[in-house]
Amino acid sequence: MTTEPRTNEDWEVVDDMVNSFLQEAGVPPRPRGYAWYLELPEPLMPRDVWSAIHTPNAPGSSAEPLHVRDAMVQAISQLYPSG
């Protein structure tokens, strides 16, 4: 494990990997250079989001982008029901 700060090249690799995954899922890429956070309405907590996400992947296996996208869409519809 290293404690060195990430270089610009490191960040480019991370962004490229994330955007490649998003592209495979049919999702637009995220703009570079931003930290993205999800603001949850009361009374939701981060654990509520994670418990709502269910993918068909076995623990330790790689996640299929389309499965992750579908799981996220389902979780959002559970957490934010249309009124």
Would you give the distance in Å from CA 26 to the centre of its chain? 13
Whether 5 and 16 have beta carbons less than 8 Å apart is answered as no
Whether 22 and 36 have beta carbons less than 8 Å apart is answered as no
pLDDT score for 73: 87
pLDDT digits (tens, 9 = 90+) for 27-58: 999 888 777 787 888 888 888 888 888 776 66
Q: Is the pLDDT of residue 13 over 90?
A: yes
DSSP string, 3-61: -PPPPHHHHHHHHHHHHHHHHHTT-PPPPTT-----PPPTT--HHHHHHH---SPPTTS
Q: What's the mean per-residue pLDDT of the chain? A: 83
